[in-house]
């Protein structure tokens, strides 16, 4: 936590593009007006002794007042109020789109975003994990025979059935040894909760989505004996049904010790006591669990057989198929009988495991994401999908999801467009620069890699929007030009962000970008409107001063025009709706000028 706080303190808030342009314009305007004021005062030195002024000093003061009036005429006093009003209107419109803006200037920054770095899980997908496939070893009598089971249901509701590979529904899944042990491991090697919310009328999770999916699977497998019959379970209230089977296993097995998940081990283990037996259940990444297994539990008779190279290769093949072609997030489950009386687990215990099965979880892409991706491509915005998923050759879960949502539609192949974080870090400097220009997917990403990615893109003059939801994401969110936190994320991530997505939806970011572009267009229009009026005032006063004719406009009249007469119509321009083709133009350049010399010349002529 200390390093995260230190990283955030070392990150300076970047000025938004509009603020930079307004500051530049203000500096330019101040210099020009100061020069014109001095010029007017100097040009009229010969009129200082005019008898009408009553002396040289009084004449100098008179023309000094004219110079001040000229400055008043040139400076659009109502501009700050109008800009603030326009941005505030934009935040209100964005709030209707479920985008809660925390930093007012960031509203406009969205309009020039060139790269969106988006998390996959929960942003591009529904983040409602559900187990859809189970793979176990059935028998080895006639060679390795692997059985696959399908699981129905794609929500957190503990309602669904298990089918064999012929599509036949299993009436009592818990009678099969592997499915029974999968249910045990899913319930016990788990730190999440599933509960029914009567106000919303649905089941809600507390904890990680993958763990909740395992709890739901344990409910679908059921229990051995009469109570596992669907009719008996259906008699329970929804509150009781949410975790009935899980509570059964938790009552049967007493947790003694836990080895929490870590990124280096990629697994979690729990030691349980059951009827004078000590059993360790483990779950984790298939490549980590399978490599630690020396035995396999058979599904046909519950026997344990040694793991050989043929079985290992078959399991690896099924894992690759689940993760690639079928777009599933995979976990492997295993167990180990421990010595009696053992009370504490160590990392050395996580070896010589018995493989139980492989589960594949589906996190379906959001329906609206594909159209949002198309809008980004049309608008010249590049999307980089950032995820912690593994990359196996070119058939990873993340790449499969990217194909479904259209992130890879513009690519002929994935070579040079898909990297792991480790692969990207190992690239030489020039190759990293080229990779950043082509990258569409970055996998096996840790929070520190997100900040690295943001800095690298900003060094290439990209305007970067980065999503995140965890405490560790806070430095990257603060560093990005637009930090986008999830509504379901941590308070730390939200406090470091510029915008919060109430619905955790990628399509909301794209809608906010369109709104940001519209706000910039409106802002540019009313600023030009106000400046054109001010230029007219300056010309009137300047010409009158040079010709020596009476003042055409008094300072009070100038203030009235600038604050009231110009302010209200300019504010009305801020209400203009976005153009229909606002997302068909390329992002404007950060160095794009609000005003050009030709524009100011035209305004002088008008």
Domains and CATH numbers, the chain: 19-89+513-605 (1.20.1110.10), 112-125+366-509 (3.40.50.1000), 130-362 (3.40.1110.10)
- Cβ neighbors of 137 (< 8 A, separation 6 or more) are 144, 145, 146, 147, 178, 296, 297, 298, 299, 305, 311, 315, 355
Is 119 designated active site?
yes
Which H or E run includes 484?
strand 482-486
Residue pair 218/205 in contact (Cβ under 8 Å)? The answer is no
- pLDDT value at 594 more than 50: yes
Place 351 in a pLDDT band, splitting at 50, 70 and 90: very high
Which H or E run includes 356?
strand 353-362
Q: What share of the chain is helix, strand, coil (3-state, %, to 5)?
A: 50, 20, 30
Question: Residues 213-229: what's their mean pLDDT?
Answer: 84
Buried b (16+ CB within 10 A) or exposed e, 32-47: ebeebbeebbeebeee
Residue pair 218/194 in contact (Cβ under 8 Å)? The answer is no
Place 592 in a pLDDT band, splitting at 50, 70 and 90: low
Q: Give helix 506-547 / helix 369-378 axis angle, nearest 10°.
A: 30
Rounded CA separation 58/64 (Å): 10
Rounded CA separation 110/119 (Å): 18
Q: What is the pLDDT of residue 7?
A: 57
Q: pLDDT exceeding 90 applies to what percent of the chain?
A: 29
Higher-confidence residue of 137 and 579: namely 137
Strand pairing category for 115-119 and 464-468: parallel
Beta bridge partners of 269: 259, 282
Residue pair 474/449 in contact (Cβ under 8 Å)? The answer is no
Nearest to 496 by CA among 102, 97, 98: 102
Question: Residues 270-287: what's their mean pLDDT?
Answer: 94
Higher-confidence residue of 513 and 536: namely 513
Chain center to CA of 111: 17
Largest Cα–Cα distance of the chain, in whole Å?
Answer: 121
Tens digits of per-residue pLDDT, 159-192? 899 999 889 999 889 999 999 999 999 999 999 9
Name the average pLDDT for the chain.
Answer: 83
Question: Residues 592-596: what's their mean pLDDT?
Answer: 60
Query: C-alpha dihedral over 484, 485, 486, 490, to 10 degrees?
Result: 170
- pLDDT value at 427 more than 60: yes
- pLDDT value at 408 more than 80: no
Nearest to 545 by CA among 45, 79, 129, 54: 45
Rounded CA separation 492/465 (Å): 18
Which H or E run includes 434?
helix 429-438
The torsion angles phi and psi of 197, rounded to 5 degrees, stand at -105, 105
Tens digits of per-residue pLDDT, 478-511? 888 899 998 878 888 888 888 999 888 888 888 8
E runs forming strands in 2-65: none
- pLDDT value at 230 more than 90: no
Place 395 in a pLDDT band, splitting at 50, 70 and 90: very low
Q: Which of 12, 13, 119, 164 is catalytic?
A: 119
pTM of the model: 0.71
Q: What is the pLDDT of residue 570?
A: 78
The torsion angles phi and psi of 409, rounded to 5 degrees, stand at -60, -30
Nearest to 179 by CA among 360, 303, 358: 358
Rounded CA separation 345/265 (Å): 14
Rounded CA separation 120/14 (Å): 26
Tens digits of per-residue pLDDT, 25-52? 778 778 878 887 888 788 778 777 777 6
- pLDDT value at 602 more than 70: no
DSSP assignment of 199-222 equals TTTEEEEES-HHHHHHHHHHHHH-
- Cβ neighbors of 225 (< 8 A, separation 6 or more) are none
Tens digits of per-residue pLDDT, 115-139? 999 888 778 888 788 999 999 998 8
CB-facing half-sphere around the CA of 499: CA atoms within 13 A: 36
Q: What is the pLDDT of residue 394?
A: 36
Read off the DSSP letter of residue 340: T
Rounded CA separation 554/415 (Å): 69
Strand pairing category for 193-197 and 202-206: antiparallel
The number of residues making up the chain comes to 606
Rounded CA separation 50/119 (Å): 74
Q: What is the pLDDT of residue 229?
A: 62
- Cβ neighbors of 103 (< 8 A, separation 6 or more) are 498, 499
Place 416 in a pLDDT band, splitting at 50, 70 and 90: confident
- Cβ neighbors of 494 (< 8 A, separation 6 or more) are 102, 485, 500
- Cβ neighbors of 569 (< 8 A, separation 6 or more) are 529
Across 72-81, 111-120, 346-355, 571-580, the highest mean pLDDT is recorded for 346-355
Q: What is the pLDDT of residue 148?
A: 94
Question: Residues 225-250: what's their mean pLDDT?
Answer: 82
Q: What is the pLDDT of residue 140?
A: 79
- Cβ neighbors of 276 (< 8 A, separation 6 or more) are 340
Q: By three-state DSSP, how is residue 120 classified?
A: coil
Query: C-alpha dihedral over 454, 459, 460, 465, to 10 degrees?
Result: 30
């Amino acid at each position: 936590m200390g390093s995260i706080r230190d990283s955030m303190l070392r990150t300076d808030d970047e000025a938004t593009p509009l603020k930079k342009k307004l500051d530049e314009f203000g500096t330019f305007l101040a210099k020009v007006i100061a020069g014109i004021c001095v010029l007017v005062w100097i040009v009229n030195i010969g009129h200082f002794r005019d008898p009408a002024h009553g002396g040289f000093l009084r004449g100098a003061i008179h023309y000094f007042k004219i110079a001040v009036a000229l400055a008043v005429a040139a400076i659009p006093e109502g501009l700050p109020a109008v800009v603030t009003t326009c941005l505030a209107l934009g935040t209100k419109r964005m709030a209707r789109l479920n985008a809660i803006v925390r930093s007012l200037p960031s509203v406009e920054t969205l309009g020039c975003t060139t790269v969106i770095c988006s998390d996959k899980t929960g942003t591009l997908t529904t983040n409602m994990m559900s187990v859809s496939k189970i793979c176990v070893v059935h028998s080895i009598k006639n060679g390795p025979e692997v059985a696959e089971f399908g699981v129905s249901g794609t929500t957190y509701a503990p309602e669904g059935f298990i089918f064999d590979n012929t599509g036949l529904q299993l009436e009592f899944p818990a009678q099969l040894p592997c499915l029974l042990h999968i249910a045990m491991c899913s319930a016990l090697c788990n730190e999440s909760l599933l509960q029914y919310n009567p106000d919303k009328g649905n089941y809600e999770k507390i904890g990680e989505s993958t763990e909740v999916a395992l709890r739901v699977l344990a409910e679908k497998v059921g229990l051995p004996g009469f109570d596992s019959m669907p009719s008996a379970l259906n008699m329970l209230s929804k509150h009781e049904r949410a975790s009935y089977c899980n509570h059964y296993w938790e009552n049967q097995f007493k947790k003694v010790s836990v080895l929490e998940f870590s990124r280096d081990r990629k697994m979690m283990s729990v030691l349980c006591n059951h009827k004078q037996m000590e059993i360790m259940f483990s779950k984790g990444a298939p490549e980590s669990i399978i490599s630690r297994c020396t035995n396999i539990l058979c599904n046909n008779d519950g026997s344990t057989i040694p793991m050989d190279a043929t079985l290992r290769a078959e399991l690896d093949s099924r894992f690759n198929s689940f993760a690639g072609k079928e777009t599933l997030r995979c976990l492997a489950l295993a167990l180990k009988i421990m010595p009696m009386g053992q009370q504490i687990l160590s990392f050395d215990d996580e070896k010589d495991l018995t493989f139980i099965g492989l589960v594949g979880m589906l996190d379906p892409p959001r329906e609206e994401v594909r159209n949002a991706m198309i809008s980004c491509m049309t608008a010249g915005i590049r999307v980089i999908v950032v995820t912690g998923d593994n990359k196996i050759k070119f058939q990873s879960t993340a790449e499969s999801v990217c194909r479904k949502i259209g992130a890879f539609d513009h690519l002929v192949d994935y070579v040079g467009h898909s990297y792991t974080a480790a692969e990207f870090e190992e690239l030489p400097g020039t190759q990293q620069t080229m990779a950043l220009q082509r990258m569409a997917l970055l996998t096996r990403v840790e929070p520190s890699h997100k900040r690295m990615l943001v800095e690298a893109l900003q060094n290439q003059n990209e305007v970067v929007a980065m999503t995140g939801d965890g405490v560790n994401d806070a430095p990257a969110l603060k560093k990005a030009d637009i930090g986008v936190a999830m509504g379901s994320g941590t308070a730390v991530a939200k406090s470091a962000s510029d915008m919060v997505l109430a619905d955790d939806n990628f399509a909301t970011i794209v809608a906010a970008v369109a709104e940001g572009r519209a706000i910039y267009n409106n802002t540019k229009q009313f600023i030009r409107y106000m400046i054109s009026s001010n230029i007219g005032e300056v010309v009137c006063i300047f010409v009158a001063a040079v010709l020596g004719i009476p003042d055409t406009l008094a300072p009070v009249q100038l203030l009235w025009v600038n604050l009231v007469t110009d302010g209200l119509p300019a504010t009305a321009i801020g209400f203009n709706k976005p153009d229909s083709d606002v997302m068909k133009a390329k992002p404007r350049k950060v160095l794009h000028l609000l005003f050009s010399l030709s524009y100011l010349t035209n305004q002088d002529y008008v």
